Structure 1
Amino acid sequence: MADHTINQRVSNLRTLRPRKHELEFFIADEVELSSFRDEMASMEHPFFALKGGDTKIRKYTNGNVTVIVKPTADGLATVFDKDVWIYSISKLQEAMNNHQEISRTVCFTPYDFFVTTNRTISGRTYQELEKALDRLKGTTIKTNIVYSEEKQESIGFGLIDSWRIIEDKKGKLDVGMVEITLPDWLYQALHKKKMLKISQDYFRIRKAIDRRLYEIARKHCGNQGEFTISLEKLHLKTGSTALLKMFRHNIKQLAKANDLPDYSIRYDVKADMVIFNNRNLTPEQEDKKQQREKGKREIYKLKNSLASKRGGK
C-alpha cells in the first residue's frame, strides 16, 4: 500500500505543469582566474553548444588573447547541460545568503534537479543527466594569459572538475544522489559576486538559441533600458552554426512571438540590427532611458547638421 501511494505520487508529479520555485537562479558573468590575474567574461563567449553532438573546436580571438573550446568525442557541453551549472551555483548562493558554509562540491538528488529545471522525470532523463555530466567534465577551455610582450602563459581547464552518481534502489524507485565538484575559477566567481540573477522562467525557455539570446540580453541589457547589436555580431555571440540567413529568420520568428522572460526583442530590417528592451523598468529607470534616447537623437541630429554644412561648403 505504501509503495502504491509513493508510485502514485511520483506519477502525479510527472504530469504537473511547470511550477514556480523559491530558489533564485544565478549565472556566471565574469569569472576570474585569480592565480593568473585575468578575467574571462563567461557569457561573452559561447562555451556551450546549441545542439548535441557538436564536435567543432571553437576559437575566439580578442587582441592578443585567444580562447579555444574543445569538445569530447560526444560533442561540446550544451546549453541544456549548463542547467547543472546554474542549479549548482544557485544552491551555493542560497546557502551563502543563509550564512551557511559552502564548498566546491555540491550534492543534490536527481529528482530535485529535474523538477527545479523543468524536466520530465523518466529513466531516459536519468541517463541524459549522466551524459550531460560527461560532456561538462570533458569539454575543456584553453586560453593564454598575457603579462607583457615578453611573457605569457597558457592555461587549460574544464567546466566541472569531477562528478559521481550514487544509486540506491529501494523497491521500484531509484533514490540517488549526484555529487559534482565545480572548478575553482567558477567557485571564486561566486565568492567575488560575479554572478547575475536570472529569471525563474529561464528553464521554461524551450529552444537552446532562445536561452542563449536571453543570456546575452541579461548580460548586455541588464537593468538598463536597451541593447542594440548587429545581426552578424549577435550570430557570432550565440555560437549558432546555422547560416546567417536562417539565423535572421529565427530572430524574426522570435521577435514575432516576443516571449523571452524580462526582455522584448525587435528586428530592424533596414539596419539589420537586433534591439533588446527591458520589460521590467521602474518609472525612474524608464525616465532615464527616455532621456538617454533623447540625448542620442540630439547628437545624431547635430552630426547630420555638421555633415550637411561641410557638404554645403
Structure 2
Amino acid sequence: MSGPKSLGDTLALIQAGIAARRRKRIEAAARPGETYEQTDARLSAEDAAREQEEAQAKAKAQAAAIAASAERDRKQAEAVNKPAPSVRKPPSGDEQADFFVPSLYDLGGRDVRHVMDVAPYRLSKRDKRAGEVIHYDLPDGYVEVKAGSDGMASVWDYDIVLMMVSHLNEAMNRYRDGKGDKPGRTFKPHVSDILKFTRRGDGTRQVKEVESALDRLKGTTIKTVRERVGANGRKMREVEAEGLISRYSVLSRTDTDRVSAVEIEAPQWIYQEIVGGKQPDVLTVHPDYFLIDPGIGRFVYRLARRAAGKGAAKWSFQTIYERSGSTGTFKKFCFTLRKMIEANDLPEYELREEPGQNGPQLIMTHRDSLPALEG
C-alpha cells in the first residue's frame, strides 16, 4: 500500500496530464505531410495570435468603457450647469380643441393692466402663506395682498382669473358689436374648459386642484390704497378691497368625485374695469404663458408685457424683487433670475442683464423688435 504523494509527485502528474492533452491536440490537428514539430509550432503561433487579439479586444472594450464614462460625466456636468428650461412641454392632446366648447378655447388670455406691475399672488408652489400679507409701496399709495386660511392664491391659481377676464372681455366685444347681450358677473365654465384654457392635463388630480384653487382665490383679498386730488383741490385717500373672485360654486358627481360644473362670480373691481369703461385696460398674453413653469418666470413675463409691450423696458433686479413679493433672499432671487436670463426661453421676450448705477438691471425686449433696435 503506497503512502501519500509528495508535492513534487503531484506537480509531475499535473505536468504529465498537460503534456498528454497537448500531444493529443497536436496529433488531432496535424495536417497531411506536417511533422509533429511543425504542427506544434503552428498551434503555438495560432494560440499566441489569438491571445493577442483577445488582449487587443479587451483593451478596446476598456478604452470604450472609459470614454463612455467620461462622456456621461461630461453630460452630467453640462446638465448641472445648464439652466433649467422656464417653459414646460404642453400636455398630451393640447393641440386638439374640444368640439363641445370651441368658443372658449378661441379666447386669447388677457390680463388686467393695473395689477401687472405687482404680484397679486404668491410665486412659490410650496409655501402656502396662509394668513400672510404682502405689502407693495407705489408712487401714489400701496397695494396689500391678504391671504385667507386656505392659503394665498398662487400665480397658477390666477390662471382662472385670466380666463375669467378673457371671457368678460370677449363677451363685451360681442356686445359692442351688437352680437350678444351685456355680460353679467357670473362665469360658468366647465372644469375641462379651465384645464384646456390653462394648458393643463385633464387628469383627476388637476380636476381636484381646481376646487382648491378657487378656495384660495376666494380667500385672497387685494387692498388698494391711493391718494388723489379731488375736484375741490383737496387730497383724497381712496381705499378699495375685494377678493380675486367674489364667489364660486362647484357641482360634483359623488360616484366619480369628478367636477361637473363650476360657477364663478367676478369681483366688482375686475368687472367694472372691463365692462364699465369704453376701452378696457387689459392686455393679451401669449398662449405659452400658461406653460411657463417657475413663478418668477410668469411674473417677469407679465412685467415685460406691461412695461415693454412690443418694444423694450428696463427694471432693476431690486425693484423686480420688491414687486414680486418673494419670500426668499435677494441673493437667491438674483441667482434664479440669472438662470432664467441664461435659459432665455420666455415667450415673446428676450432677457439680458446689464449693470446699472443702483445694481444689476433686467432688459426685457420683444423679440420682433430686436432687428430694428439692433439696426
TM-score norm. by structure 1 comes to: 0.75
- SS of 1:50's equivalent in the other structure is coil
- The answer to whether the aligner puts 1:163 opposite 2:244 as a matched pair is no
The C-alpha deviation readout for 1:141-196, integer Å capped at 9, x for no partner, is 22334355565353321111100012246x75836110000011101212331100
2:304 aligns with one of 197, 207, 217? 217
- The answer to whether the aligner puts 1:92 opposite 2:92 as a matched pair is no
Distance of 1:125 and 1:68 partners within structure 2: 29
Distance 1:213-1:147 versus aligned 2 partners, 3 A rule? closer
- The answer to whether the aligner puts 1:108 opposite 2:189 as a matched pair is yes
- The answer to whether the aligner puts 1:261 opposite 2:261 as a matched pair is no
Distance of 1:15 and 1:236 partners within structure 2: 33
Partner of 1:187: 271
Does 261-270 or 229-238 show the bigger shift? Answer: 261-270
Distance of 2:348 and 2:335 partners within structure 1: 22
Deviation at 1:44, TM superposition (A): 1.7
Identity of aligned residues (%): 30
TM-score norm. by structure 2 comes to: 0.64
Supply the AA of the counterpart residue of 1:118.
R
Flag structure 1 segments of 5+ consecutive residues without an equivalent: 1-13, 30-40, 292-313
Distance 1:277-1:181 versus aligned 2 partners, 3 A rule? same
- The answer to whether the aligner puts 1:71 opposite 2:147 as a matched pair is yes
Partner of 1:204: 291
- SS of 1:61's equivalent in the other structure is strand
Deviation at 1:104, TM superposition (A): 0.9
Question: Which has the larger strand fraction?
Answer: 1
Partner of 2:128: 53
Distance of 1:150 and 1:269 partners within structure 2: 39
- SS of 2:301's equivalent in the other structure is helix
- The answer to whether the aligner puts 1:43 opposite 2:119 as a matched pair is no
Partner of 2:108: 24
Distance of 2:137 and 2:295 partners within structure 1: 24
Partner of 1:8: none
- SS of 1:108's equivalent in the other structure is coil
Flag structure 2 segments of 5+ consecutive residues without an equivalent: 1-89, 97-104
Distance of 1:147 and 1:80 partners within structure 2: 33
Partner of 1:140: 221
Distance of 1:232 and 1:220 partners within structure 2: 16
Distance 1:175-1:69 versus aligned 2 partners, 3 A rule? closer
Distance of 1:232 and 1:155 partners within structure 2: 27
1:62 aligns with one of 138, 151, 154? 138
The C-alpha deviation readout for 1:80-112, integer Å capped at 9, x for no partner, is 010110111112223333332211100011012
Supply the AA of the counterpart residue of 1:155.
E
Deviation at 1:220, TM superposition (A): 0.3
The answer to whether the Cα contact below 8 Å between 2:315 and 2:362 also exists between their aligned partners in 1 is yes
The answer to whether the Cα contact below 8 Å between 2:136 and 2:323 also exists between their aligned partners in 1 is no
Report the count of equivalent residues. 261
The C-alpha deviation readout for 1:192-225, integer Å capped at 9, x for no partner, is 311001101111111111111100000000122x
Distance of 1:93 and 1:68 partners within structure 2: 26
The answer to whether the Cα contact below 8 Å between 1:140 and 1:158 also exists between their aligned partners in 2 is yes
The answer to whether the Cα contact below 8 Å between 1:251 and 1:267 also exists between their aligned partners in 2 is no
Distance of 2:226 and 2:319 partners within structure 1: 25
The answer to whether the Cα contact below 8 Å between 1:18 and 1:204 also exists between their aligned partners in 2 is no
Distance 1:17-1:248 versus aligned 2 partners, 3 A rule? farther
Distance 1:26-1:68 versus aligned 2 partners, 3 A rule? same
The answer to whether the Cα contact below 8 Å between 1:168 and 1:174 also exists between their aligned partners in 2 is yes
Distance of 1:100 and 1:42 partners within structure 2: 28
Partner of 1:275: 363
Question: Which has the larger helix fraction?
Answer: 2
Distance of 1:237 and 1:181 partners within structure 2: 27
Give the alignment's Cα RMSD to 1 decimal: 2.5
Deviation at 1:121, TM superposition (A): 2.3
The C-alpha deviation readout for 1:263-310, integer Å capped at 9, x for no partner, is 0101225751111110123xxx954x468xxxxxxxxxxxxxxxxxxx
Which structure has the larger Rg over C-alpha atoms?
Answer: 2
